[in-house]
Amino acid sequence: MVRRLRAERITDAVTYHGEGPCWSESWGGLRWVDMLAGDVLSFGEEGRIVRRHVGDVVACVRPRATGGAVLAVETGVALEDPDGTVHPPVLLWEPGAVRMNEGGVGPDGCFWVGSMAWDGSEGAAALHRVRPDLRWETVLEGVTVSNGIGWSPDGSRVYYNDTPTGRIDVFDRTPAGGLTGRRTFVAPELEHGDALPDGLTVDSEGAVWVALYGAGQVHRYTPAGELDTVVEVGARRTTACCLGGADLRTLYVTTSREGLAPDEDPAAGSLFSVRVDVPGLPVLPFAG
């Protein structure tokens, strides 16, 4: 039987295109991005939201093993020091038709970041692996909208979303940390409309939580690909999710109001949360 939960709205509509929530003890809690504004948001004292501008676009933020953060900016990767200093980015390509979109850090300590064309052109994007020394390589080409990526608890499987495909794919992780054996893990289904898998996270049981853009839902799929939980979110454009809090049992969900009229879906752009039974996995830090 599928369990149904309802997320609580915990902020106002503070982002235009909220994305990439990430909980880390190293930076004292939750950070997420207002991607197209180029801002990183976090909770300050007494729940006050702190907003910091880092560039024209910031698609993803993850902690560094040495403190600070690694950031996927418009066309590259930038390092933030523990004191908040952000260094000029290493560019993976020149600004133009394609921008960064989403990413995560794997058991290899590398920053895996993907892209999309500004106009959404099919097959124009890619997934890249940025090593701790900031050398990088393209690991997957012909992508349209590179989105959620996450690793199983033992690091042997990698889950990945190219949103327009309508499915979550899974790869086997090679001894060298690469990807092989791509196949469909699950193709989410909705009662109405197409399912568009966006950001995802993996919990300590190896289940995959995925935000379904446009559906106002987050689904949990067991390692066997069975749907067992649906979280209803009070804004349709659910973009990403993570598990955080002191016990890693709070599911945080970001939402977007990109493309909406000012009076349409008033809660869009807010952050939502709900308590769940199974804790998440501690976020893996970038080794650089």
Question: How far, rounded to the nearest angstrom, does the alpha carbon of residue 70 sit from its chain's CA centroid?
Answer: 14
CA angle 204, 206, 207 (to 5 degrees): 105
Q: Per the structure block, which two tokens stand in for 192?
A: 């109405």
The 10 Å CB-count burial string (b at 16+, else e) for 179-212 is: beeeeebbebeeeeeebbbbbbbbbeebbbbbbb
Question: Catalytic residue at 34?
Answer: no
What is the torsional sign of CA 184, 185, 189, 195? negative
Catalytic residue among 39, 108, 169, 198: 198
What positions carry a catalytic annotation? 198
